[in-house]
Amino acid sequence: MRESSSTPAATIALVGNPNSGKTTVFNALTGLRHRIGNYPGVTVERREGRLLLDDQRAWAILDLPGTYSLLANSPDERITTEILLGQTPHTPRPAMTICVVDARALERSLYLVSQLIDQQLPLLLALNMMDNARREGIRINARSLSHELGIPVIPMVASRGEGIRELRQALRNGPPPTLPPLEWRLPEPVRREWEELSAMLREHHQLAPPVASHEAMVLLSRPRPESGDDRRFAPVILQHLAKDHQKLDFLGYDRQVMMLEARQEWSRALAARVSSRSAAGGTPSLSDRLDRVLTHRVWGFVIFLGVMGLLFQAIFSWAEIPMDLIGRLFDQVGHLIVGVMGPGDLRDLLVDGALAGVAAVVMFLPQIVFLFLFLGLLEETGYMARAAFIMDRPMRRIGLNGKSFIPLLSSFACAIPGIMATRTMENSRDRIATMLVAPFMSCSARLPVYALLIGTTIPAISVFGILSLPALTLFGMYLLGIGAAVLVSWIFSKTALRRTTPVFLMEMPPYRLPSIRSVLAQTGERAWVFLRRAGTVILGASIILWFLATYPKSDAGTPSEKLQQSFAGRAGRAIEPVIAPLGFDWKIRIGLISSLLQREMFVSTMGTIYNVQTNDDGGTVSLRERMQNDTRAGTGERLFTPLRGICLMIYYVLAMQCLSTVAVMRRETNGWKWPLIQILLMTALAYGVTFVVYQGALRLGLGGP
């Protein structure tokens, strides 16, 4: 995580098919010295690490999104192509490239390798998972593969660290400066047109030779000569292209597959030359046997529900113990500060503003950790792909598909990684539909809000002896979000996003034991991002809120009256006419305003407000109790009745209330149209449903304490 002060190092890029163990190689090479960020302009996660070779040269290593081809079309895969071709601003073309190949899928991977070699990228080949290949009776002669390709080939088992030393050695030696041209053969007329077009692109657009030939190939293989991005090319190129298309079509070439077929022909022949497979024993592999159970029509579903149940159990019940500890720790710190410092504005700012606000959010770290731990384990073991497989059919009924499942499951952690996870979806209609409903999944930022409100307003009564009312309420909130997502996506699939034939096409990686190290590393990264946010944005916002809730100071009156006189109190009153029919008073309204930034701010706002209000000898009374004891002046009616608590939660389930999600939506959809639709839709739904529930319940006489 340490930043180096030296000049930016040259870059090594890691590429490979999904599930080739690319990230394991990355972790093995970098240890834990890496960070995640974003590529400028897009939210594709950029995983970058540092590598110090024995000769003290420092390199930056980029873990690029997995891809099967440089011609692929999902946003994720396009990033890989653009980086490798040096088309991304601020990211120079990598000085070296490591292509990670799953040894069992050599033939398929050679397709990508051939594209990389054609790009004249300085290349090393990491032949990973050799142990699995051996177990399946596959033998690969790495030396002759290396000889045929003209690049170093390093056999390895990255998960056990085997071959990492050799890979580092190979990196230090550097790849051969120039690569011999590959012997994959295009039919003569096609090759001629390709070379001609490449030459024109070099001349008219000053493209580097490998980039020009890549672009020429893309242009020749596309269905029609004209396309959306024509402005990139000079008219003379497009005219020439139209003629090329005509000619090749007339000669009877299937332009869209000719390049691919030629490369695959080459891959097949090469794979046959360098590898052999002993007669496959009749016994199906362990993965196949597991699949028979885990994707079984009945058992598959039962196990799936069990796994999901375990996930939620971990988040909502196991996480409570560490959460409690963190809460107590912050209390202690508060007492300590109160004991050391004399009373005054500075102490109030520290304890009531900064500490209370940050504590309210950091409390939820254990839940975040459990969630990402689970998601990481599911991904690593290979079960995630099966969950998508099982969920495909039910998801289709509501206008989504199996591939939407992973983004939506991640959205229970946070809609942002969820929305980013849709980048692996090639179909833009499916992708937008998934992004639209992702924020309805109750994210971990809502959890603090639910937890506080349930603890405050829902009595701990047990139902049918085994279930508790608070737990049921929480479950209900999750169901409400899912229900809203189902409804919205179903409506959209019948209207604005009418479906074309949906397609499910996904590799099912072999089951394997998860690498605990890399799961922990990933979870650590996420936890760090969360904590950093608590330490920066939320800390800052808490201090501002404390200020708004404290000033201008009025000397007279009860603490409550003072608060009403403050800036925050006035703002809360300003939106009263709109929000009053939902039953929310001015303190809740302050919470709603502050949590526009992010939802968990509601909790820290309550923390700040109630600390400000009972500004006495430190916080021994919990926030929960303070809120429960809050009554309306005059009538003595409790503010946080069960009805108000439920209405507030319903509002939080359905409302957008998250600026970061809006920003991500805008970037991912390249415009304001979808984020605006999403905001309008969610706000209308949140307001409407809350209004109906609150007013309906009042009419039915259910508004009591």
Partner 1 sequence: MTPAATVPLSEAPLGRRVRIHRLSASPEVSRRLRELGLCEHAIVSCLLKGHGNIICAVQNTRIGIDRGLARTIVVSAAE
Residues in contact with partner 1 by the rule CB under 8 A: 68-69, 71-73, 102, 104-105, 107-108, 111, 136, 138, 223, 256-257, 260-261, 264, 287-288, 291-292, 295-297, 300, 385, 388-390, 392-393, 396, 401-402, 426, 501-510
The CB-of-508 to partner 1 minimum distance in angstroms stands at 4
Pure H helices in 33-141:
75-84, 106-118, 130-135
Output b/e per residue, 168-206; b: 16+ Cβ within 10 A. Answer: bebbeeebeeebeebebebeeebeebbeebbebbbeeee
Closest approach of partner 1 to the CB of residue 63, in Å? 21
What DSSP string runs through 339-353?
A: HHSPSSHHHHIIIII
Q: Which is nearer to partner 1, 150 or 394 (CB)?
A: 394
Give the span between the Cα atoms of 116 and 210, in whole angstroms: 10
Cα(435)–Cα(427) distance, integer angstroms: 12
CB of 444 to partner 1, least distance (A): 29
Please identify, using beta-carbon distances, which residue of 294 and 654 lies nearer to partner 1: 294
- The least CB distance from residue 22 to partner 1, in Å, is 15
Pick the closer one to partner 1 by CB: 120 or 287: 287
- C-beta of 126 vs 549, nearer to partner 1: 126
Q: Please list the residues that pair with 172 across neighbouring strands.
A: none
The 34-38 sheet, strands edge to edge: 34-38, 45-52, 58-63, 11-16, 96-102, 123-128, 153-155
Q: Which is nearer to partner 1, 12 or 186 (CB)?
A: 186
C-alpha to C-alpha distance for 448 and 365, rounded to whole angstroms: 10
Residue 577 phi, psi (nearest 5):
-55, -35
**Tokens 């030629």 sit on residue:** 262
Q: How far is the CB of 57 from partner 1 (least distance, A)?
A: 35
d(CA 601, CA 272): 60
**In whole angstroms, how close is the CB of 271 to partner 1 at the nearest point?**
8
Of 290 and 529, the one with the shorter C-beta distance to partner 1 is 290
Distance CA 196, CA 218 (A): 14
- Minimum distance from CB of 302 to partner 1 (Å)? 13
Nearest in space to 115 (alpha carbons), one of 267, 220, 269, 13: 267
CA-angle at 245, arms to 239 and 248, nearest 5° = 140
Of 257 and 692, nearer to partner 1 (C-beta) is 257
The CB-of-267 to partner 1 minimum distance in angstroms stands at 10
What backbone torsions phi and psi does residue 467 show, to the nearest 5 degrees?
-95, 150
Report the nearest approach of partner 1 to the CB of residue 285 (Å): 9
Of residues 405 and 652, the one with the C-beta less far from partner 1 = 405
Listed in sequence order, the residues at least 6 apart from 95 whose beta carbon sits closer than 8 Å to its beta carbon are: 10, 11, 12, 59, 122
647 near 660, Cβ under 8 Å?
no
To partner 1, the closest distance from the beta carbon of 390 in angstroms equals 5
Instruction: State the minimum distance, in angstroms, from the CB of residue 69 to partner 1.
Output: 5
Count the neighbouring beta carbons within 10 Å of the beta carbon of residue 530.
Answer: 22
Query: By C-alpha distance, which of 593, 560, 557, 567 is closest to 578?
Result: 593
Q: Are the C-beta atoms of residues 586 and 564 closer than 8 Å to each other? A: yes
Report d(CA 181, CA 588) in Å as an integer: 68
Nearer to partner 1, 19 or 641 (CB): 19
Q: Which is nearer to partner 1, 497 or 508 (CB)?
A: 508
For tokens 């959209």, name the residue: 492
Choice between 371 and 395, CB closer to partner 1: 395
Nearer to partner 1, 331 or 507 (CB): 507
d(CA 141, CA 143): 5
Residue 678 CB, shortest distance to partner 1, in Å, is 27
Q: Which amino acid is at 345?
A: D
